[in-house]
């Protein structure tokens, strides 16, 4: 099942394309069925009965599929990615946070900040928390706590990361966490792949089975520190092949079985060239 958050669009004429529209402000939750999205009542992690009206997918704007209280990321969780940045794989999960203010929707722009000279893409599989999770028992199954999975781009100002050593500033800029387009509630993590494309050229390819720490290990590690709430996001790390973005690029993160997250890249609005 593919879940989403969306707003309906109003077209001024039948022949207008998707870029010419007005967005109704009401935010709705829905289930995607073929080429349509059907509204569901309540929150995505409660009832998911598609009993509301439906719209064609090309007449809605997909929003970030959740509104997290926190985004917990795992660094260096693929051996080859750790190696390409000159690091060893960690002995236990290396976690850090991105602020909720960094989240942007599919097709919304990633903004290159003026104070950075090197901004990188990092395509990732993300898990979405579906119920409050704390104090897990050793043999407790984590599956009931996971609502589903989506695509995430852990955009990083690499030069600032190296300068600061810790990750907060480099990964916390507004627009540095594209998220979506949907939440897939059923995904075989043993078979999933993560790919990143820049201007149509594949830059990253990884298999989730190659992760240093499984999602089970990651969640158990996180809840030793903090409570996970419904809608929170867990980014599971990026494969090797990270590289830089510049204004004018289009970056796409694809997770097999989930979909593709697409975002254009622009320069800072403070930059006189834009």
Distance CA 269, CA 272 (A): 8
Range of the domain at 46: 2-62
Last residue of a domain, one of 26, 41, 62: 62
> What residues have CB less than 8 Å from 13, skipping those under 6 apart?
none
- Shared domain for 77 and 58, answered yes or no, is no
Q: Is residue 273 part of a domain?
A: no
- Shared domain for 82 and 54, answered yes or no, is no
- Shared domain for 38 and 151, answered yes or no, is no
Q: What is the pLDDT of residues 58-103, one digit of tens each?
A: 999 999 999 999 999 999 999 888 788 788 889 999 999 999 999 9
Distances (CA, A) of 126 to 5, 20, 64, 165, 231: 16, 31, 12, 24, 12
- Shared domain for 233 and 213, answered yes or no, is yes
Arithmetic mean of pLDDT over the chain: 92
Strand ranges for 208-242 from DSSP E: 233-235
Last residue of a domain, one of 41, 62, 83: 62
Q: Is residue 274 part of a domain?
A: no
**Number of separate domains in the chain:** 2
- Shared domain for 14 and 86, answered yes or no, is no
- Shared domain for 239 and 130, answered yes or no, is yes
Tell me what percent of the residues of the chain surpass a pLDDT of 70: 93
Q: Is residue 272 part of a domain?
A: no
- Shared domain for 8 and 132, answered yes or no, is no
Confidence band (pLDDT; 50, 70, 90) for 274? very low
Residue 265 DSSP one-character state: E
Q: Is the pLDDT of residue 134 over 90?
A: yes
Distance CA 177, CA 98 (A): 8
Confidence band (pLDDT; 50, 70, 90) for 20? low
- Shared domain for 77 and 48, answered yes or no, is no
- Shared domain for 125 and 210, answered yes or no, is yes
Q: What is residue 204's predicted lDDT score, i.e. its pLDDT?
A: 98
Q: Is residue 27 part of a domain?
A: yes
Nearest CA to 97 out of 226, 195, 196, 194 is that of 226
Distance CA 233, CA 24 (A): 26
CATH number of the domain where residue 193 is located:
3.90.850.10
Residue pair 76/212 in contact (Cβ under 8 Å)? The answer is yes
Last residue of a domain, one of 15, 34, 62: 62
Q: What is the pTM of this model?
A: 0.93
């Amino acid at each position: 099942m593919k879940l989403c958050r969306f707003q309906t669009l109003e077209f001024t004429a039948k022949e207008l394309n998707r870029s010419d529209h007005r967005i109704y402000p009401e935010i709705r939750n829905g289930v995607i069925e073929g080429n349509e999205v059907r509204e569901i009542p309540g929150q995505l992690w409660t009832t998911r009965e598609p009993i509301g009206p439906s719209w064609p997918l090309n007449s809605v704007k997909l929003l970030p599929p959740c509104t997290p209280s926190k985004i917990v990321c795992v660094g260096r969780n693929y051996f080859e990615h750790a190696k390409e940045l000159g690091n060893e794989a960690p002995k236990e999960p290396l976690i850090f946070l991105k602020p909720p203010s960094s989240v942007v929707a599919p097709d919304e722009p990633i903004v290159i900040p003026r104070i950075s000279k090197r901004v990188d893409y990092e395509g990732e599989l993300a898990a979405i928390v579906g119920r409050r999770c704390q104090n897990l028992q050793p043999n407790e199954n984590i599956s009931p706590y996971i609502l589903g999975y989506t695509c995430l781009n852990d955009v990083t100002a690499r030069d600032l990361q190296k300068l600061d050593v810790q990750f907060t500033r480099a990964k916390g800029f507004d627009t540095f966490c594209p998220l979506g387009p949907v939440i897939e509630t059923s995904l075989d993590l043993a078979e999933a792949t993560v790919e990143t494309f820049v201007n149509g050229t594949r830059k990253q390819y990884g298999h989730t089975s190659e992760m240093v720490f499984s999602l089970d290990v990651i969640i158990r590690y996180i809840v030793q520190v903090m409570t996970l709430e419904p809608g929170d996001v867990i980014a599971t790390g990026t494969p090797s092949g990270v590289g830089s973005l510049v204004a004018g690029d289009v970056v796409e993160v694809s997770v097999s079985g989930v979909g593709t997250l697409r975002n254009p890249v622009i320069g800072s609005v403070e930059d006189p060239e834009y």
